[in-house]
Structure 1
């Protein structure tokens, strides 16, 4: 008999605990979205320079680098925004002795806020020494602030949707029970612009290279999934 009472007590306690954990509130689940397109104002560009032979004369990486440094300074780019990314056999005397025709190359990184300055810089560098250029990445300086604004707009849109639906059936909207955000922002990849050793399709290029970058806006988009209580 004692065992029976003990089992009944355990069952009653378990049922009571389970009942307390079950959310019996009436709910409505909706979603809201908010989005905005912005123009990137921080652009990271890479430039690769390579020595080349002008007849029997070598145009060295030093000469090309001096041109690039002067162009960057003339464009008003802060010194800290111009860095070396990588070198290929730079000052490698062994490699040059082994192969006198070996051409050293050097890669640089630029942080810009205006693509027009990129064109200005390229126009001041010997085009035959420009191996390739491309945009590595870009971003919007006020992205975090804008993201917070869009999240709030999405939440308010979800709340308004829930209130509208409940009002249609004579119910009232209560407090939010849960809120989940989804980032649907789109960062399209820019096209690469490149020129290999001053030649395009086997034809020597003597004019200043013109950038051919398909630059697109960034679309920041947020969705908020929210569950609200239905009150009497």
Structure 2
């Protein structure tokens, strides 16, 4: 009985959908597709910093390296409480147990900065204090969601403009939209990637312990949306 009821419900639903589609097709309409895109400079730059006792040839503990790291970043007016976070903590117990050596500890940090200039200053400053296990992990645009919504609105307006251009030569006007489809690909496909980085200065990087500024150029992030809209013809 339940199976029969389910089949009946599916048949009714299919019939309603077909009726709606037929009613829709019966209306004279015009369909256009439009794109809207832009390039933006990333304003969230994540830098991974690894503090490892072995990097300093065991001359400094991770605690000492942490103090040096925090002091160096504060000199650059970076809010370490807000923008510096600990990713993980590890110790090489295997070496300790097998060789009887001191435990070699390491800590991984993530630092958030908001422009390429500060990122370059961080790389140079940390290298100067002996912290060189540093890399740019990913980039993002903080207002990506708002940007994408604005691009979709722009694409819809373009779609209507195209529709009017097509309808005018035949003496017709574009009416209300009766169907809108967002056919965009993933708008955040470049978020998180760091392709296209160019580093200049500091003998790229750090030949002869160079002290000149490090200039970093980030590839701009491209955001693109696409919509398909059907308008009635009057």
TM over 0.5: yes
Distance 1:50 1:42 in 2: 26
- The CA deviation string for residues 178-230 of structure 1, in whole angstroms up to 9 with x for no partner, is 1112334351621499xxxxxxxxxx977269868651111121111101111
**CA apart distance, 1:141:** 2.7
**CA apart distance, 1:95:** 4.8
What is the aligned counterpart of 2:85 among 83, 86, 91? Answer: 83
**CA apart distance, 1:96:** 3.1
Secondary structure at 2:78 match in 1: coil
Larger radius of gyration: 1
Unmatched 5+ stretches in structure 1: 1-15, 194-203
TM-score of the superposed pair, with normalisation by structure 1: 0.72
Residue aligning to 2:203: none
**CA apart distance, 1:31:** 0.6
**CA apart distance, 1:127:** 6.3
Q: 1:226 aligned to 2:229?
A: yes
Number of residue pairs aligned between Structure 1 and Structure 2: 204
Residue aligning to 1:215: 218
**CA apart distance, 1:77:** 1.6
Once superposed, what is the RMSD of the aligned Cα atoms? Answer: 3.4
Q: Going by fraction, where is helix more abundant, 1 or 2?
A: 2
Q: 1:109-120 alignment to 2 at 5 Å? A: 109-120=110-121
| 8 Å CA contact retained: 2:42, 2:218 | no
Residue aligning to 1:134: 135
| 8 Å CA contact retained: 1:178, 1:228 | yes
Q: Going by fraction, where is strand more abundant, 1 or 2?
A: 1
**CA apart distance, 1:115:** 2.8
Residue aligning to 1:190: 194
TM-score of the superposed pair, with normalisation by structure 2: 0.72
Q: 1:1-232 alignment to 2 at 5 Å? A: 21=20, 22-23=22-23, 24-52=26-54, 58-78=59-79, 79-89=81-91, 95-96=95-96, 98-99=98-99, 100=101, 103-125=104-126, 130=131, 132-184=133-185, 185=187, 186-187=189-190, 189-191=193-195, 207=209, 215-231=218-234
Distance 2:55 2:40 in 1: 44
